[in-house]
Amino acid sequence: MGNGVWHGLPPSGHAAEAVLIYGAAAYLVRTYAHPDSRVRTRTFWLVLLIAVGAVAVSFYLGFHWPTDLVGGLLAGGLFLRLLVEADRALARRSTQTGSRVPRSSASTMR
């Protein structure tokens, strides 16, 4: 793309990292910090804004094709989902063994 030199490899690591890293941070805050609904809503929009920004910049600068960026968003979302499910499985296992892990109502949201 751009000057004829292909800079990126599918899927986009920029898009995947934006979704995975900031999504994981938002999940941890929503699950373990017990914020009010306003903070939970703002973290969602912040992660969405960061991911869209990373996609827009990567496309504008010619680092990736649109399909690479969509693939990166999907890959980041998949790994984020695996991370969330692993955390929930560990929390269930710890409650079954008697350990107490503080959880919020956000952890039951899908």
pLDDT higher than 70, residue 109: no
Q: What is the pLDDT of residue 71?
A: 93
pTM, two decimal places: 0.76
Quick one: average pLDDT of 38-62?
A: 93
Q: What is the largest CA-CA distance in the chain?
A: 60
pLDDT cut 70: percent of the chain above it = 80
| Residue 4 pLDDT exceeds 60 | no
More confident residue, 34 or 97: 34
